[in-house]
């Protein structure tokens, strides 16, 4: 009788999310405008955060499956969770999406300004600083609203 416990090792499932500490400098520049200084919390730790918030950023998903005919896709709704930790630290969990053609999970290449603006806005808001909410592509541009009143 064959032993079902031996043979090919199971492949580890690819991660369904990631973090982008390399984008911290862009967030830092926006926070410094209000004399706020945060460090990037490298541990992906949901239990010990002080606050968290789910929102979206923009970017592009490349399909890395060589057998797939898709070059990838752009998205204005890449789900992220922004977390704040004690000691002026934060991180952002970025959720991956599956390719519609081959169903392979893809890690996004984020629009750095969208990421920085959304993250800095949320951290400033949590720190009690009133700041204009970042422009959302799905809404009318603020200047359009002004001209509509004239």
Strand partners, 92: 82
R_g of the chain computed on alpha carbons: 20
Q: In the chain, where are the structural domains located?
A: 17-149
Please give the structure tokens belonging to residue 67: 């057998």
Residue ranges of the alpha helices (H) in 33-138?
A: 112-126
Encoding tokens for residue 42? 């490298």
pLDDT digit of tens for each residue in the chain (150 aa)? 555 556 666 778 788 999 999 999 999 999 999 999 999 999 999 999 999 999 999 999 999 999 999 999 999 999 999 999 999 999 999 999 999 999 999 999 999 999 999 999 999 999 999 866 666 656 655 555 555 555
Determine the Cα–Cα distance for residues 21 and 47; give it in Å rounded to an integer: 19
Rounded to an integer, what distance in angstroms lies between the CA atom of residue 57 and that of residue 128?
22
């Amino acid at each position: 009788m064959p032993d079902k416990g031996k043979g090919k090792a199971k492949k580890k499932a690819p991660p369904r999310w990631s973090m982008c500490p390399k984008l911290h400098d862009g967030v830092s520049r926006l926070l410094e405008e209000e004399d706020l200084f945060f460090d990037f919390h490298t541990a992906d730790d949901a239990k010990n955060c002080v606050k968290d918030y789910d929102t979206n950023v923009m970017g592009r998903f490349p399909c890395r499956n060589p057998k797939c005919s898709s070059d990838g896709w752009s998205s204005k709704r890449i789900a992220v969770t922004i977390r704040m930790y004690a000691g002026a630290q934060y991180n952002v969990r970025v959720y991956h999406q599956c390719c519609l053609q081959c169903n392979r999970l893809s890690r996004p290449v984020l629009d750095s300004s969208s990421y920085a603006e959304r993250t800095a806005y949320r951290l400033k808001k949590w720190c009690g600083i009133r700041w204009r909410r970042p422009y959302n592509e799905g809404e009318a541009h603020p200047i359009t609203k002004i001209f509509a009143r004239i």
